A and B are shown apart, each in its own frame.
With several copies, the nearest count.
Chain A
Amino acid sequence: MARISVQTEDFDIGAEFAALTAGRTDIGGIGCFVGTVRASAQDRVAAMTLEHYPAMTERAIARIVEEAERRWELLGCTVIHRVGRLTAGENIVLVLAAASHRQPALDATAFLIDWLKTKAPFWKKEEFADGAATWVEARAADDAAAARW
């Protein structure tokens, strides 16, 4: 039931909402999160490259979605994660979760992005304005966020 995609091209947020809700009258709320490439004043990230483990990625995302479906009564779910080189301001990830009421929709959205950050095989390499490039290190805060659930 869930739509899962790992792709290089950008996603169309409006079209994904429309596809998730088309013809449905049982949905009361849709939670959504979009992650984007941030270039803060300090670190001046110009771009990043997202590497992944193709044979495993969609399967790992499917398991995260199944876990969300076990925890909440979801009426639909979309996870799209981009890979390849993305420049500052570009979309990285889209999560949508639809439910009959807002609380499960919002909780499932937060759960999905927390677990994607810690349990799906993606790695980010950041390129800085001065030409340097480094692999992003996993954050303890992300592990703590994922462990809340």
Chain B
Amino acid sequence: MADAATPLTILYFAWLRERTGTSQECVTLPADVRTVGALIAWLAERSPGHASAFANRRTVRCAVNQDFADPATPVGPGDEVAFFPPVTGG
């Protein structure tokens, strides 16, 4: 298993990518950030762009390690966490 210092990879797609100004960033989590919900609250503090991306959480979807996730899904060191709007393909 990854130790606590191993970073998470955060990916952003569509307008979350545009608002945060990044498609990918690596972060090392504080010990008290253990769920998607807590991660969002923590990321929203990083910049005005992040705050804007996460302003309306009802329009933000998430996947942890390429599986759809929800605010209660656990996250930890080494995970790949992606944030994006509701999907619109097809």
Contact = CB atoms under 8 A, between A and B. Distances in A.
Direct interface between A and B, CB < 8 A: yes
Interface of A: 35, 50-53, 55-56, 59-60, 81, 92-93, 102, 113, 116-125, 135-138, 142
20 contacts: A50-B89, A53-B13, A55-B80, A56-B63, A56-B82, A81-B90, A92-B89, A93-B89, A93-B90, A113-B90, A117-B88, A118-B86, A118-B87, A121-B87, A121-B89, A123-B87, A123-B89, A135-B15, A138-B88, A142-B90
B90 A136 contact: no
B89 A122 contact: yes
Contacts, number: 73
Contacts of A55: 66, 80
Residues of B in contact with A, size category: 10 to 19
Dominant secondary structure of chain A at its interface with chain B? mixed
